[in-house]
Amino acid sequence: MWLGIDTTTERLGLALVEAESVLAAETAFVYRDMAAVLHPRLQDMLRRSGVRAAELSGIAVTCGPGSYTGMRLGLAAAQGLALVTGCPVAGVNAQAAIARKCAQEGRPTVVVSRANAGDVYVAVFGPDGRVLHDTALVDMATAAQLVPAGAVLTGNAAVLLDVAGVTPIEGDDLTHPDPVDVARIGMADYAAGTLRQASPMYLHPLAYRTSPGLKS
């Protein structure tokens, strides 16, 4: 049984996943209250599900891109539980989780997420989830140039881009990381022996950097 945690945006996401079954999942826009509500909501979900922390097989947590404070809170919660339970922790690119939810056969997926000062985080994934262009912090014009023809365009900043012939997907569940997908990516990485380090992703404007473990 894996726990999925996402705290990279103003929306908190928590999920318990076992094999193909989703035992519990919840999301809530908590904005600046992330620090106050993360642990109580996590403990409440475990209690309502009848699950003890010791029963967890692993923890998957988003490590960026996104809110500096948020990602640190999520990583600290995951690492704290891991110390108690001894289970592995998988770092997950939040944009990979969004792409997994929105993937369509035969079409690349471009995820565009809010950053600061008018910039955005952008990443491009193939139909199979393979990274075609890893997460980078760029301006709007550069992000628009990275959107290939026929792409699925999503993310909480996708509507800010003006790309001819491409209509962005809208809806909170499709533009924010789903904790179920976060958990399943962590499970798959663990099974494949490609567990990614759970450390915060830091990017600088116009600097392209490979996300932890997400090499094509």
First and final CA of the chain: distance in angstroms? 28
Please, what are the domains in the chain? Answer: 2-94+177-192 (3.30.420.40), 95-174 (3.30.420.40)
Q: What is the pLDDT of residue 118?
A: 86
Q: What is the pLDDT of residue 213?
A: 44
- The number of helix segments (H) and strand segments (E) in the chain equals 6, 9
List the chain pLDDT tens, one digit each, 216 residues.
999 999 999 999 999 999 899 999 999 999 999 999 999 999 999 999 999 999 999 999 999 999 999 999 999 999 999 999 999 999 999 999 999 999 999 999 999 999 988 899 999 999 888 999 999 999 999 999 999 999 999 999 999 998 988 989 988 888 999 999 999 999 999 999 999 999 999 887 654 444 444 433
Q: Which residues contact 10 (CB under 8 A, 6 or more apart)?
A: 29, 30, 31, 34, 67, 70
Contact 125, 102 (CB under 8 A): no
Whole-model pTM?
A: 0.90
Q: What is the pLDDT of residue 162?
A: 87
Q: What is the pLDDT of residue 165?
A: 85
Residue 67, exposed/middle/buried by CB under 10 A (0-12, 13-18, 19+)? middle
What is the gyration radius of the CA atoms in the chain, in angstroms? 16
